[in-house]
Structures are given as structure tokens and as C-alpha cells.
A and B are shown apart, each in its own frame.
Chain A
Amino acid sequence: MDDAKPIPHYIGTPIITMKGISRRFGHTLALDNVSLDVRRGEVLMIVGPSGSGKSTLLRCINYLELPDAGMVEIDGVVLSRHGVDLNRIREHVGMVFQRFELFPHLTVIQNIMLAQRIVAKRSPQASEQIARDLLAKVGIGEKADSYPVQLSGGQQQRVAIARSLAMQPKVMLFDEPTSALDPEMIKEVLDVMLDLAREGMTMVIVSHEMGFARAAANRVVFMDQGRIVEMGAPEQVFDNPHHDRTRLFLSKVLQH
């Protein structure tokens, strides 16, 4: 990664507030009374062992997964409140998936234009201009007319990021954005994310990329068994964890 802390921007008031979130799947309690704030301009990383509830927590933020209990507030709107249009909320909460989830029947540019057209109701010209600008920004302007299968994993993930950015999100959620990628492609995706962080994008990232966390994250959250065990600056959580469970987990991750 780059030279020390490249995050000069101001971190403001909470944009996401989660209070007492619980989510159960059958007998497993995926989330157990989790509360968490994310501030404007903040880069928050979530780490933890498999099955600890990281994805579920992320998916509860935009109600892709409905919590059984608790409250989520995004930019002043409580999602469970009567009459809230979740589609309008999700429009401005970008989400990037481990398996990219590009639409295989559409070209790259169509992937980025579709929601602009039918959700944000932008004109074809405006949508296309925004799409081309974003493709150039993530460094694959020449792939506009390719289909997703013709792209490498790293390129696909960069298109997926551009597709979310096209909706002008207030927050970006990333669920293990690099863990399906070959090592040589991880950097190109992390670089795009680092640029976003520098621009002041609010980001919640589930990832075990320690280098990225140290370079870009303001806070790291360690989860285990559906709970937040520990939370703090990356140096504190990684170098001086308070809890044994965190230490145990870090020793396993760092062995790889």
C-alpha cells in the first residue's frame, strides 16, 4: 500500500446508526444485539472468523436482510418506519459483492447505465456520460462494450464498483470485495477503493486485507459469534488487541 495515512478528510456526524440489531436463522443467532455507528467520511473495516455475522450485519444496513430486532437509521431515516421507500434508500447505499454479481446479459456500459435509467430516471445521454466517466476512473474505459465474462475478476469488480458509484451513493458497502480474486488482481481493486477513501466516501468494508486496513481504515471492528467483540483504530486492534479472541483470530489470519 501507500505511504502511511492517506486520509486527510474530515470525519463527521453519524450517517449510519444501528441499535440493538439481532438476526436469527433457525437456531443460529447470526447477529446478537449489535449496535454500531458509522460516521460521514469514515472508512470502517469489519473483520472476524467465518460465520461471525459480518455479511449479515452489512446486509442489514440496507435491509437486504431484515433484522428481527433493532433499528437502522441511514442519513436521518429510520428504515423500519412506516412509509419509508426502501428502494429510495438502497439507491443511495452502494453494495459490492464478493462474486461481483455483474449482470451477465448486459455489456459493461449497460450494467452501469441500467439503474441510472430505470431507478434514477436519468436520460440515456446523461447515464452514458456518467458511466463512461466512471469506467475511466476505475481504469477500464476501453471495456465499455465487453460482456462481463470477457473480463478478468479484477476488472469485473471494478465495473461493479463503478455501477454502484453511478447511483451517487452516500455510503458504500463492500462484502469481501477481493477474496474471490487472484492475488495479482487484488491490488487493482484495492487501489480503486483507496482512491474512494481519499475522496471522502463513507465505506463499510468486510475484508481481511490488513495492509489496506492500516492504510485506509479509521476504525476496525472485530466480530465473533454475532457480536462486536472489539473496536478501535487499526493499530490498536491489530497490534494491541484487548481480547484473547481477537488475538487468536489475528494470529490465524496473519499465519496465511
Chain B
Amino acid sequence: MGEVGSSEINQTARSPLGRSSLRQAPWWLIILGIGIVFVLLAMMRNEDYAKTLGYVLGGVGLSVFITVVAYVAALIIGLIAGLGRVSANPIAYHTATLYVEVMRGLPMLVIILYTQFVIAPMIGAQRNPALSGILALALGYGAYLAEVYRAGIESIERGQAEAARSLGMSAGQTMRHIILPQALRRVLPPLGNDFIAMLKDSSLLSAIGVNELTQLARIEGSRTFDYFRAFNSAAILYLILTLLLSLGVRLLERRTSSGRR
């Protein structure tokens, strides 16, 4: 209820004179967008550049695919671990905490190398580095998402759970029907930000030879000896993807904060 009040205050503070709406416009984004369009146009006009761009573009699909699959897996792993982190059951709590602390204490690149060169051979899967990569990203990000869920769950006022329990709901029913629906709504924006972060971290999979965007840029650079063009192409493609996604997150943020929670 407190939040509703404050969002009303924000709205009234924003509207007067209409001048603040000019300041509210995302100028940096518009300028960046125009810049990207110009750079793209310039690249297309140069035949070599267009070729390089076309080649690197071939990695976008795999980068996005890996990110989506790993992210969905991380959402599930994170939810389970997050529930463990708020659990009263000591086994669930300590297992989840161990997982979260270990994963968050390791560099993402180490998790990826470890998965590809230690875990994958054990299960006979080292032939498919994309699979190792998905597993590594899901495990690593599962830990971050677990903490996002935990924070969301803990942000729900204690009175909500007490009201539910006083109606005879079990702890599980209270979590499922009362706490989680409210917590998920609150954590949608941070979850979206972690999707963007994972898309960027998927570039680390070039270290284990996955033919995603960054890897293709490296191959193209070493083939043409023109790293400048190759990485410019990769950079502009990443920027387009992350900008579109962060726009999406902003929309999400606006909808969840103005809606009825």
C-alpha cells in the first residue's frame, strides 16, 4: 500500500508544466539509436564490411538461442534454490546456500571451463560445447536468480503470510498462492536485467569454441587480419540486442509499478 502512495506522488511530480516530460524522454537512447543506424548504413556501403557483418551476424542466432535456453533453466534452478534459501528446513537451506555461495564465488569463465573440461567428459558430452555452455550459464546464473527470488520473497510483508496462515493455508499454499505471485511481480525488472547480463556473458563461451557471436568475430578477424571490422561488427550487434532488451525491461518496469501490483 505504501508503494501505491509513492507512485502517485511520482506521477503528480512529473506532470506539471510538461517540461519535465521533455527531460524524461530517453535522449541518450535516441542518440545511440540514431548512431547505430548510421554506423550500420556506413558498414553496408563498404563491401568488405558488409561481408564481415554478414558473417558475424550468423552467430546471433546461436547466442540468442543459448541465452534463452540457459535462462529458462536458470529461472527454474534459481526458483528452487531461492525457495531453499528462505526455507525453514535446515537441509534445504544449507544445500541452497552452499550452491549459491559457491557459484557466486566463482568467475563465470571458470564455471564454463570447468563444465566443459571436467564435468562434460565425465558424462561423455565434451563433443558439444554449446551444451556445456548452456549448463554452465544455467548453473552460474541460477545462483544469482536465487538471490533475486529470495529478496523478492523477503520483501513481502510478514502480515501477508500471517493472514494466509490464519485462514488455514499451509506454508506451501501460502508461498504458492500469496507470497510468490506478489514476489514475482516485484522481481520482474531485476530478472530482466539478468537476462541481458547473461546474453553478454554468453560471449564467454567463445573460450570453449562455441560458434556464437563473439567466436565468429574472432574467427573472421583472424581470417581477414582485420579485427577492427570484426569486433566492430560484433559490438554493434550486441548493442542492438541489449538496447532492445533494456527497452523491454523498462516497459516491464513501468507496467509493474503502475499496475495494481
Residues of A within 8 A of B (CB): 62, 64, 87-88, 90-95, 97, 99, 101-105, 114-115, 118-120, 147, 149-150, 160, 163-164, 167
Contacts and interface: CB of A to CB of B under 8 A. Distances in A.
B170 interface: yes
A126 B102 CA distance: 50
Nearest to A89: B168
Contact of A119 (B157, B162, B163, B169): B169
Contact of B162 (A64, A94, A103): A64
B260 interface: yes
Contact of A64 (B165, B185, B260): B165
Interface string B159-176: 110111111111001000
A23 to B, nearest CB: 16
A101 B260 contact: no
Q: Which 3 A-B pairs have the closest CB atoms?
A: A91-B168, A101-B163, A95-B166
B260 A149 contact: yes
Given A99-B159, A101-B159, A147-B260, A87 B169 contact: yes
B1, B167, B182, B261: which has the most chain A beta carbons within 10 Å?
B167
A62 B166 contact: yes
A189 B111 CA distance: 59
Interface string B31-59: 00000000000000000000000000000
Contact of A103 (B1, B4, B160): B160
B162 A118 contact: no
Contacts of A149: 1, 4, 260-261
Contact of B182 (A105, A114, A164, A167): A105
15 contacts: A64-B165, A87-B170, A92-B168, A94-B166, A95-B163, A104-B260, A105-B182, A114-B177, A115-B164, A115-B168, A119-B167, A119-B169, A149-B1, A149-B260, A167-B167
B2 to A, nearest CB: 10
Interface string B225-261: 0000000000000000000000000000000000011
Nearest to B158: A101
Contacts of B163: 95, 97, 101-103, 160
B178 interface: yes
Nearest to B156: A104
B181 interface: yes
Contacts of A87: 165, 168-170
Contacts of A160: 163
A96 to B, nearest CB: 9
A90 B166 contact: yes
Contact of A163 (B157, B165, B167, B177): B167
Contacts of A91: 167-168
Contacts of B166: 62, 64, 90, 93-95, 164
B260 A118 contact: no
Contacts of A92: 168
Contacts of B4: 149
A118 B160 contact: no
A103 B260 CA distance: 11
B173 A118 contact: yes
A32 to B, nearest CB: 23
B205 to A, nearest CB: 38
Nearest to A173: B166
Contact of A97 (B162, B185, B260): B162
A24 B167 CA distance: 25
Nearest to B181: A105
